[in-house]
Structure 1
């Protein structure tokens, strides 16, 4: 109930009481009509006993409406999602809880939750009488084959008095959000040239972050190994100092997703664009599990996460949090109105960003040349190219001439470029990329000089 002065509260009470009177059920209206008719007959016939019956029949529904109006704010409801983030095609369970916090028992309750139609039918539950201070818990399942963020609520409750004379419907203001993320596939370990593993096998090492070990001596902390005491610095500063040691630097991986509307035709769960989104999600999870610092980059130049070194999810952010943030982004990502990849190239050319895994739609000559220049700024590059026309027709025929020309251009500058047929399993395409990378390394005489990652 909103805060206000006495006049405001009085107006609100009057409005609520009018709503309670309009909520009289058929039984309540019948009692009221019968009571009024009996009172009129008693007055005409001069029957005092009939008048008492008439007054009783007329007053009972009015009293029930007033009592229900006074107790309507003493019922609380809550909702809990388990889990709140699910892959497309998986189910989540919604738990509803109703608490009667008043001193009076409730009558029959009907509970209804509002859900988007893509999650299934609107759930309705009938709850029997809830004792004073009691609670009831019910649950239902939701499922969607389409990724996105879906609001659940508000929760609606229909209250009735014990005699069934009046019904009131109230809606709770709180709602929750179910996030349906793209489907992911577990990827097999493969060897690709151009980049080392995520942890421990990297070619580079760097100073650890604050609170970790690094090269510059620091003050002694409780629990430090005394064998790491740096005596020269201890004598110089007059306090006990310990050595900081080097820590392995996490290798980086950028996952580039081409979201240009002109590069992707068709829509729906089986479209090329949805395959690319699921593929990007699978690679992000796969690389995070193997200790890489990763980021999601789109053709618009937006990188997720935006914090950390260069927008990567590195040692300053937990992998689970980073994965959740990127998955939430992929859950709602849509086509962009951009015509090119120049903004993504501007982000990549700022420095050597390690491994680059790209999901391209249709590429014309200009955009293929732009993608070729991206290869110069990465330690290794893998491209999955989707031909929208073949995906729209569901044809797994041979790669068309223009697409083959773009693939050849990417391969000539060092990309491991793979054409994706309609409905392909991403795990199979991932293995194909590993085989193509190995063949390229052998042909180029790089087997003994290039590192591999899995």
Structure 2
């Protein structure tokens, strides 16, 4: 693609002057004006020819650092263009087309190049920085280069249609650790550390059966129960953590199902989810990440493996809401089981929802609820049945809300 009008303002003025010379020469019979007009036309033609002697490569390649961008953080883009030219080239202007998901200054001066009589291709490297503003997978491009001849009379605009995908993942916010709750809901790292020393095994009492050694009789428990009880070493269990990201579109807006980054409420839910996942895995929890109907969103994450968290963050760059709403069926997922922390992230939330998910509390050592758009009575009801609940709107301070919900079980939006 090239501009329809190939001349700069200076070249346009030269063309107009040439036409005027022709007209005046014809009217008054001044031959010198005719020669001057022909000279101007010749210069303009030579300018156009010199521009088209510059041959650029058909492709532009881009590299990103880091490979996966993050909402609110910069990413460096390096574009490389091959140039072949038997003549020196003047400086020009370049501009790369940015999608709505990123912002930055993607333009500047295209450097001048010396002559290359050998015909070998030389690479021009263009670097700029963009910042992710919208989660998702976006395309950068096309890139255009506008060149002028050495006299600044003609211009040529070349467009490289190649685009480059850039992945903008949700940001991981720093949340406080669950160190003060490890005794009740502890993670695998905590348990493993205890097992290295004494006290990793718990002593429990069970009824005496024939064949048990008399040395194992637990006299205090026997006196309390009225029957012989014996000591039994029970290995400390490692409760798992479960993060539930409710993707039902009825909890958000229709845009959450059609485009990433379009619904601020759903974006807040995704950010909370990946931040909580990172916190739990960092603290050593073996974490399952599921939808409200139990569908796994990712493979099970091992405690302490932060590499897997980065993989999940990349996957969450493209997660969207879905049509079905299964929040009221959530208790069925935990029927007959007992687990560690259960963190539920949802959107719209009312009192009926709080009543429906109340049974989950009895299957978790630490039930935490985050709702983007709850009603006041809904969070009060959730607190009454045992949830640690907090309201998180798109402008809320998620780190403070996490700390408040975990430590005090309050229902409050932190701003």
Question: What band does the TM-score fall into relative to the shorter chain?
Answer: 0.5 to 0.7
Q: Per the alignment, do residues 428 and 54 of structure 1 end up closer, same or farther by CA in structure 2, a change over 3 Å counting?
A: closer
How far did residue 77 of structure 1 move? 4.4
Aligned residue among 384, 392, 395 for 1:408: 384
**Contact 2:374–2:391 (CA under 8 A) maintained in structure 1:** no
- Using the alignment, how far apart are the partners of 2:336 and 2:68 within structure 1? 34
The secondary structure found in structure 2 opposite 1:130 is: coil
**Residue of structure 1 equivalent to 2:65:** 82
**Residue of structure 2 equivalent to 1:341:** 327
**Residue of structure 2 equivalent to 1:324:** 310
Where in structure 2 are the equivalents of 1:210-221 lying within 5 Å? none
Q: Per the alignment, do residues 22 and 408 of structure 1 end up closer, same or farther by CA in structure 2, a change over 3 Å counting?
A: same
Cα deviations by residue, 1:75-114 (Å, 9 ceiling, x for unpaired): 8644343334444333334344555343432222101122
Where in structure 2 are the equivalents of 1:320-399 lying within 5 Å? 320=307, 322-341=308-327, 355-364=341-350, 367-368=353-354, 370-374=356-360, 380-386=365-371, 388=373
Q: Which runs of 5+ in 2 are unaligned?
A: 196-236, 410-415
Cα deviations by residue, 1:287-336 (Å, 9 ceiling, x for unpaired): 2323444343233654332xxxxx31349x9642x323322343444444
Normalising by the residue count of structure 2, what TM-score does the alignment of the two structures yield?
0.66
**Residue of structure 2 equivalent to 1:164:** 152
Normalising by the residue count of structure 1, what TM-score does the alignment of the two structures yield?
0.61
**Residue of structure 2 equivalent to 1:142:** 130
**Contact 1:112–1:157 (CA under 8 A) maintained in structure 2:** yes
How far did residue 370 of structure 1 move? 5.0
- Using the alignment, how far apart are the partners of 1:23 and 1:327 within structure 2? 47
Cα deviations by residue, 1:16-67 (Å, 9 ceiling, x for unpaired): 8xx57842333334445555666784999695x8766554432332233234
**Contact 1:301–1:346 (CA under 8 A) maintained in structure 2:** no
- Using the alignment, how far apart are the partners of 2:21 and 2:377 within structure 1? 91
- Using the alignment, how far apart are the partners of 1:389 and 1:350 within structure 2? 29
Higher strand proportion (structure 1 or 2) = 2
**Residue of structure 2 equivalent to 1:107:** 90
Cα deviations by residue, 1:359-412 (Å, 9 ceiling, x for unpaired): 244445664455345567x6644222437256xxxxxxxxx4443223333x2x
The secondary structure found in structure 2 opposite 1:73 is: strand
Moved more, 428-437 or 97-106: 428-437
The secondary structure found in structure 1 opposite 2:188 is: coil
Q: Which runs of 5+ in 1 are unaligned?
A: 1-15, 206-248, 306-310, 391-399, 438-454
The secondary structure found in structure 2 opposite 1:115 is: coil
- Using the alignment, how far apart are the partners of 1:421 and 1:179 within structure 2? 22
**Residue of structure 2 equivalent to 1:221:** none
